[in-house]
Chains A and B, each alone.
Chain A
Amino acid sequence: MKKKLSPLSLIYSLLIFVFLYAPIAVLIIYSFNASKSRGTWGGFSLKWYAELFSNKDIMQALITTLSIAVISAVVSVVIGTAAAVGIYYSRRRTKALLTGISNIPMINADIVTGISLLLLFIFLKLDLGYVTLLLSHITFNIPYVILSVMPKLRQLDKNAFEAAIDLGATPLRAFFSVIIPEISPGIVTGAILAFTMSIDDFVISFFTTGGGVSTLSIEIYTMAKRGIKPEINALSAIMFLVVMTLLLIVNIRSSKVEKKKER
């Protein structure tokens, strides 16, 4: 069913891509600009990248971002998988209710989530900083894990767990040697998605951090307030590439799963 695009629709598609990606392309090109001025091209150079990696604040923010992303991904995968299994095996009404509730944080505006978490932390008298930042990332990551694991659970034969028990496995063993491996593609997708979301987040982090702990996106924001330096271009370019690569992996994985099902 491959149809050749008519010239008109080809132009239309190209225009959409230009609109979508031109700003990012400009950003990436200028991150290699030797001149400090934003309007003129002073030749190709990697000096902004070099400066970026020698900037202590940025390096500190990078470490924070990566560690928060990794830890929150791991924790939310554990909680989210357990939650998905619990929701899947509950009664129909409870299932619908819990699925709805777990989806709300995803459609909720980030700023609302951010402010509510901030209020909660103040109410609990928690000092804003690394811990509160981590807690909020875990919170907003869990729904994404549930969302990725759920379809794999639905594909699972409804008797798979019983089959394992029937063959002599204890319930615990059946869970770890059958259920977890069967849904593992969903778990991995959920982990990558959670990691990406964590790196990507600005609004919620902005409200829930404190004490000088900042992520890359907060660092970029702070730097930008003092005037946009070419280093920011370099940093944003790197972040864009990381996030895009991860999302590509997620998409390729899920389309592979689709193909497997069709066979």
Chain B
Amino acid sequence: MKDNLIRLENISMSYGEKQVLKSINLDVRDKEFITFLGPSGCGKTTTLRIIGGFEHQTSGNVYFDGQLINDVPPHKRQLNTVFQKYALFTHLNVYDNIAFGLRISKTPEHEIKERVQKMLSMVNLSGYEKRAVVSLSGGEQQRIAIARALVNHPRVLLLDEPLGALDLKLRKEMQTELKAIQQALGITFIFVTHDQEEALTMSDTVVVMKGGKIQQIGTPIGIYNEPVNAFVADFIGESNIIDGIMNEDYVCTFGGKTFDCTDCGFAKNEPVDVVIRPEDFRMVMPREEIICGIVENIVFKGVHYEMHVKSGDITYLVHSTIPEVVGTFVGLEVEPFDIHIMKKSKPEEN
């Protein structure tokens, strides 16, 4: 494959007894924005650090541009990193921080000057050259860290939860800005986050990880609409995950009612997880064939209302733009293609 820039092959990683990565296989295409998404401890940062060369995998191979780079030390890899807490050098001013990498590669001073200026204007911090890094705000330090990495024209930029320390508004701004920078420069970005919204907003490809394993690789839309298992469905946005039975192809039962659905290929009467997004329920008049229940509570969320509807033992999460009075008996309608059937995950994976 020509446009594969990085390939991870059977990467496993253990710290003593503890196995943090279990046979990771991944291809990263050139110029794509790929995000490792997962809860803390899922191995996403470890994977990033293995690509950066800061950790050495217990087994498996890392290829860069077709070359095996297992034994290439980090300072010789053609990639740069933006660290979680920025890791700026406090004894240097802004200019010298950004120039650090260029000075090591013995770039002529006049070229350094030009490139540093260009980077500063790209991150909207022109005129900050002489400032001490400790005098900058979190957002500004973040931009300097990005400039310091990108000034070296890396083929790949690794970003380890770089927006975690910023407040919500600044974070949204930086998301847009980072995406714009990535597209303008045409560099591969490998981004690590635990924030699903961040992943969906910025990425071309999302890699969902859990317990040292890759759960799903796909586009943001693909992962949101077609999660492969209950974990992914729950992690990417909110979901109702209900125990159900697959009666036969295209027919399933949950909540005591039988529904048409669009999935097939399960054993007859196989127990499954039924996943339904809260926004895919429509509140209608109660009737026999659909799930009916009582509205237990309602919370205003800005764009929509969030309601819990209790039907028998199951409480459904429903998002609707139309509020319903608590205590009302309602029906919940759902389209066949919004019912997602997942194989029950094996207990050892949970």
Known A-B contacts A158-B85, A159-B83, A260-B134; the reply to A166 vs B52 at CB < 8 A is yes
Determine the distance from Cα of A263 to Cα of B91 in the docked complex, in whole angstroms: 15
Tell me the residues in window 41-93 of chain B with beta carbons closer than 8 Å to chain A beta carbons.
52, 54, 73-76, 80-81, 83-92
Residues on B with C-beta less than 8 A from A181 are 89, 91-92
Determine the distance from Cα of A10 to Cα of B180 in the docked complex, in whole angstroms: 64
Residues on A with C-beta less than 8 A from B350 are none
Contact between A165 and B74, CB atoms less than 8 A apart: yes
Residues on A with C-beta less than 8 A from B104 are 167-169, 173
Contact between A157 and B88, CB atoms less than 8 A apart: yes
Residues on B with C-beta less than 8 A from A178 are 89, 91
Residues on A with C-beta less than 8 A from B85 are 157-159
Contact between A182 and B81, CB atoms less than 8 A apart: no
Which one of A158, A159, A166 lies within 8 Å of B75 (CB-CB)? A166
Contact between B89 and A160, CB atoms less than 8 A apart: yes
Residues on A with C-beta less than 8 A from B101 are 167-168
Q: Is residue B148 contacting chain A, with contact meaning CB distance below 8 A?
A: yes
Residues on B with C-beta less than 8 A from A166 are 52, 54, 74-75, 80-81, 149
Kindly report which residue of chain B lies nearest to residue A169, judged by CB atoms: B104
Q: Is residue A127 contacting chain B, with contact meaning CB distance below 8 A?
A: no
CB distance from A151 to the nearest CB of B (A): 14
Which one of A157, A158, A162, A263 lies within 8 Å of B74 (CB-CB)? A162
Tell me the residues in window 146-169 of chain A with beta carbons closer than 8 Å to chain B beta carbons.
157-160, 162-169
CB distance from B95 to the nearest CB of A (A): 15
Determine the distance from Cα of A28 to Cα of B73 in the docked complex, in whole angstroms: 62
Q: Is residue B196 contacting chain A, with contact meaning CB distance below 8 A?
A: no
Residues on A with C-beta less than 8 A from B92 are 181
Residues on A with C-beta less than 8 A from B74 are 162, 165-166
Kindly report which residue of chain A lies nearest to residue B85, judged by CB atoms: A157
Determine the distance from Cα of A160 to Cα of B88 in the docked complex, in whole angstroms: 7
**What's the tally of chain A residues with a CB closer than 8 Å to chain B?**
22
Kindly report which residue of chain B lies nearest to residue A180, judged by CB atoms: B91
Q: Is residue A184 contacting chain B, with contact meaning CB distance below 8 A?
A: yes
Residues on B with C-beta less than 8 A from A174 are 75
Chain B window 128-170, contacts with chain A (Cβ cutoff 8 Å), 1 for yes, 0 for no: 0000001100000000000011001000000000000000000
Q: Is residue A9 contacting chain B, with contact meaning CB distance below 8 A?
A: no
CB distance from B287 to the nearest CB of A (A): 59
Which secondary structure characterizes the binding site on chain A?
A: helix
CB distance from B270 to the nearest CB of A (A): 48
Kindly report which residue of chain B lies nearest to residue A166, judged by CB atoms: B81
Determine the distance from Cα of A149 to Cα of B69 in the docked complex, in whole angstroms: 36
CB distance from A221 to the nearest CB of B (A): 44
Q: Is residue A170 contacting chain B, with contact meaning CB distance below 8 A?
A: yes
Residues on A with C-beta less than 8 A from B80 are 166-167
Residues on A with C-beta less than 8 A from B134 are 260, 263
Contact between A162 and B86, CB atoms less than 8 A apart: no
Known A-B contacts A170-B75, A260-B134, A263-B134; the reply to A164 vs B100 at CB < 8 A is yes
Known A-B contacts A166-B80, A169-B104; the reply to A157 vs B152 at CB < 8 A is no
Residues on A with C-beta less than 8 A from B84 are 159
Centre residue among A157, A174, A184 by max chain B CB count within 10 A: A157
Contact between A167 and B91, CB atoms less than 8 A apart: no
Determine the distance from Cα of A165 to Cα of B101 in the docked complex, in whole angstroms: 9
Residues on A with C-beta less than 8 A from B100 are 164, 167, 169
Chain B window 229-254, contacts with chain A (Cβ cutoff 8 Å), 1 for yes, 0 for no: 00000000000000000000000000
Residues on B with C-beta less than 8 A from A159 are 83-85, 87
Kindly report which residue of chain A lies nearest to residue B89, judged by CB atoms: A178
Residues on B with C-beta less than 8 A from A167 are 75, 80, 100-101, 104, 148-149, 152
Tell me the residues in window 80-129 of chain B with beta carbons closer than 8 Å to chain A beta carbons.
80-81, 83-92, 100-101, 104-105
CB distance from B17 to the nearest CB of A (A): 15
Centre residue among B73, B87, B88 by max chain A CB count within 10 A: B87
The contact sample of 9 A-B pairs, CB cut-off 8 A, is: A157-B88, A159-B83, A159-B84, A160-B87, A162-B54, A162-B87, A163-B87, A164-B89, A165-B54
Which 7 residue pairs of A and B lie closest in terms of their CB atoms, listed nearest first?
Answer: A167-B101, A159-B87, A163-B87, A159-B83, A181-B91, A157-B87, A168-B104
Given contact pairs A167-B75, A169-B75, A181-B89, a sample of 6 additional A-B residue pairs in the complex whose CB atoms are under 8 Å apart? A157-B85, A160-B89, A165-B75, A166-B54, A168-B105, A263-B134
